[in-house]
Structure 1
Amino acid sequence: MSVRIATDGSATTVTASPRTLTVCVVITTEERAEPSWVPQLEDCSPALRRALERVGLQAGELWLHLLGIGLERGAPTAAELVDAVAELAPAELRRHLVGVHVPAWRALVGADTLEAAARGDRNADAVLLADECYYGGRARDSLSLLLPLSVAQTKKRVADVLRRFHNEVFAAREDELVAQLERDVDAKRARSLSPDALITAATRGYVYEPEPELGRVVLVPHLAARPWILLCQHRTTRLICYAAEPESAPHAQEVRARALKLGRALGDEKRVLVLARLAAGEAGLAELAESAGLAKSTVHHHLVLLRDAGLVGMRGNDQGYRYFLRAEGATESSGVLGDLLAPR
């Protein structure tokens, strides 16, 4: 499911591959904003809970670093990806996990440091865990329980979680979920859009700025962490994991759902402050955090809700991201309220 497009004389492939992300381990302990197939931690078997705890319950960033394995295997099924991870040499799996194949991390902390950490060098491990930018600022959450282990023990824990999650949670619903993803892919591919416009449309407002070192962009729909966009790199490929659209519903039901998103977005004083700041011009995460008097992680959560409501867009790449008010946001919001309140 790919479209090959030549842009400015260089080859860029925009691909929608539904199976690549389907095996990501996703368990939640948070209250749901919308119906989801993702299980609550308390509903998992004791064995799966223990396996998750041994890797880290906040280790979400870790699993994104395995997407490159699926990419290299040609977007396998979930079971095939689990097997592929199990077949990898322990040292190579650890290289994937620490980001040896991620250009951004190589530039940030150095290829030598990453290779040393992959081998189990404790000094290199400490450098990675102390870096506030490495792993998107989530290195301790994602790697602190794995880096102290031997290379073989690291593989055993990661492979065990993947297989248990697939067997106990995902396998029974794989056909249903993949069918939803494939319908989303077909709908996106049917639209006559340029590569840039396709990315922005699929992600509901992310304006991707090309990175010279990455010659390919892969769009991956997911149902695991809606409405989040999950961004990662693998070798010379940028992966953009976007939230697949929910299954179509009757018009009145869709209008109510959109109105609820808008209400959630505007129902917090700090989010209103963020919107007011963006009305004065685009800003980065640190600027927004300073103006709102909040931690960057908290502002990031607010921005996810504002983006999901269609009020805020994002532009940039790993060199930096900026947020802005979507010009269409106010008009679309007025339309939602008009549809909601229209006489029936």
Structure 2
Amino acid sequence: MDIISATVKKRETYSVYINYSPLWECALGIAAITNTPLLDSLEKSVSHWKEMRDSFSKRLRDQLDYVEKNNTWKALLQLLHQKDFATLQEFTTYIEALSEKELKFICLPFVGDAYQPLRERAASQEKEAVDELQTDTAANPFFPEYIAFISTIGESQLKKHLVVVMTDWYKQVVEKDVEQLEKILQRDVATKLGMKEKMDSEEFVEWATAGIAYPPEPSVHQVLLIPHVTYRPWNIVADIEDTKVFYYPVANESISPDDRYLPSDSLLLKYKALGDEARLRIIKLLYERNHTLQEITEELKMGKSTIHHHLKILRAAQLVEIKAAKYALKRKAIDSLTKELTVYLHQE
């Protein structure tokens, strides 16, 4: 049956906001150093993190052990989303003033609008609600145990831990370099805001996160971008009410503000990837339609291992992805190349 459309409604998308603070850097630093399986993939070496941990006071080391056991970095991030805290003191005072139910409700992970009543009951320590919330989050690697922990720990013990670990990390890690950190974050946000004016929301999120394609989804009306230095090169993705959050790694040029000629990793990788005849041929082939590895090999009459090598480079540059067992061109990344180059050329 033919369908005649009588609507002119555009496809809905989300709004994008950017926020930054040294307090986010504190919570993400605590998350990074306690995620020991991931340490060897971070920008700084494993030995750097070990030496840092060894240099801390015993109290902070003990608190970090507690974080590693119970994933309380998640609680810190959840709490930081409640308002814009100007200072560490304002944040810790806010935690101290919360009632037990308020504290636990905030710390429990947001699963979706439909689960909010269940989250409230779990915050009131109703065992059936806690069990159900654990079951519903079983696919997450740490949520079930974290939910059990939050729902059973004493209010004063949890508050004391969160205040102490955040305060000690700030004083022993962040405070001495806070001015430089703020300059890095400010510079990165300024660059991102300049690019935001040149792109639609989805294109901008993919560019800012160096490759995460995030199409609109029901009940999510805004995306919050939060820059970080500590967890580079990783993006961390989270959900809060009405919002998808991306904690994204700041660009190279934000860390080295005195070098106005330093391009971002994203820009450099893309143009290096395109500076090869074979890879440009693959790009054009994928521009026409998605292809399997075998199809690309046959079409371009090149060895499979050679094609696979070129595809690996294109994927690392976030120009190509795999969809339904086929290689696909990331069109938004291609479309944003000129805009990205323009921003770089005009940076001062």
What is the TM-score normalised by the length of structure 2? Answer: 0.62
Is 1:238 the counterpart of 2:247? The answer is no
Structure-2 residue corresponding to 1:91:
101
Could you say what the CA RMSD is over the residues aligned between the two structures, in angstroms?
4.2
In structure 2, runs of 5+ residues without a counterpart are 1-8, 274-289, 294-312, 335-348
Is 1:16 the counterpart of 2:18? The answer is yes
Q: How much does 1:49 deviate?
A: 1.7
Q: 1:252 to 1:49 in 2, by over 3 A?
A: same
**What are the within-5 Å matches in structure 2 for residues 243-258 of structure 1?**
243-246=249-252, 247-248=255-256
Supply the distance in 2 between the matched residues of 1:96 and 1:237 (Cα, whole angstroms).
15
Is 1:81 the counterpart of 2:86? The answer is no
Q: 1:68 aligns with which of 66, 77, 81?
A: 81
Structure-1 residue corresponding to 2:65:
53
Q: 1:58 to 1:91 in 2, by over 3 A?
A: closer
Q: 1:310 aligns with which of 302, 318, 323?
A: 318
Q: How much does 1:32 deviate?
A: 5.6
Residue 213 of structure 2 aligns to a residue in which SS?
strand
Q: 2:212 aligns with which of 190, 206, 210?
A: 206
Q: How much does 1:222 deviate?
A: 1.4
Supply the distance in 2 between the matched residues of 1:308 and 1:85 (Cα, whole angstroms).
41
Q: How much does 1:183 deviate?
A: 0.6
Q: Which shifted more, 210-219 or 142-151?
A: 142-151
Q: How much does 1:127 deviate?
A: 3.5
**Equivalent pair of 2:235/2:246 in contact (CA under 8 Å):** yes
Number of aligned pairs? 270
Q: 1:322 to 1:166 in 2, by over 3 A?
A: farther
Q: 1:137 aligns with which of 125, 134, 141?
A: 141
Supply the distance in 2 between the matched residues of 1:158 and 1:86 (Cα, whole angstroms).
10
**What are the within-5 Å matches in structure 2 for residues 269-280 of structure 1?**
280=292
Residue 56 of structure 1 aligns to a residue in which SS?
helix
Q: 2:56 aligns with which of 29, 37, 44?
A: 44
Point out the structure with max Rg over C-alpha: 2
Structure-2 residue corresponding to 1:226:
232
What is the TM-score normalised by the length of structure 1? Answer: 0.63
**Equivalent pair of 1:65/1:232 in contact (CA under 8 Å):** no
Supply the distance in 2 between the matched residues of 1:47 and 1:124 (Cα, whole angstroms).
34
Q: How much does 1:234 deviate?
A: 2.5
Structure-1 residue corresponding to 2:121:
116
Structure-1 residue corresponding to 2:296:
none
**Equivalent pair of 2:17/2:224 in contact (CA under 8 Å):** yes
Structure-2 residue corresponding to 1:165:
169
Residue 228 of structure 1 aligns to a residue in which SS?
coil
Q: 2:43 aligns with which of 18, 27, 34?
A: 34
Residue 26 of structure 1 aligns to a residue in which SS?
helix
**Equivalent pair of 2:321/2:330 in contact (CA under 8 Å):** no
Higher helix share: 2
**Equivalent pair of 1:79/1:166 in contact (CA under 8 Å):** no
Supply the distance in 1 between the matched residues of 2:204 and 2:96 (Cα, whole angstroms).
35
**Equivalent pair of 1:205/1:307 in contact (CA under 8 Å):** no
Residue 239 of structure 1 aligns to a residue in which SS?
strand
Deviations 1:36-55 (A, max 9, x none): 89844334321112112234
Structure-2 residue corresponding to 1:339:
none
Q: How much does 1:325 deviate?
A: 5.3
Q: How much does 1:201 deviate?
A: 0.5
Q: Which shifted more, 197-206 or 136-145?
A: 136-145
The alignment-based identity, stated in percent, is 21
Q: 1:323 to 1:244 in 2, by over 3 A?
A: farther
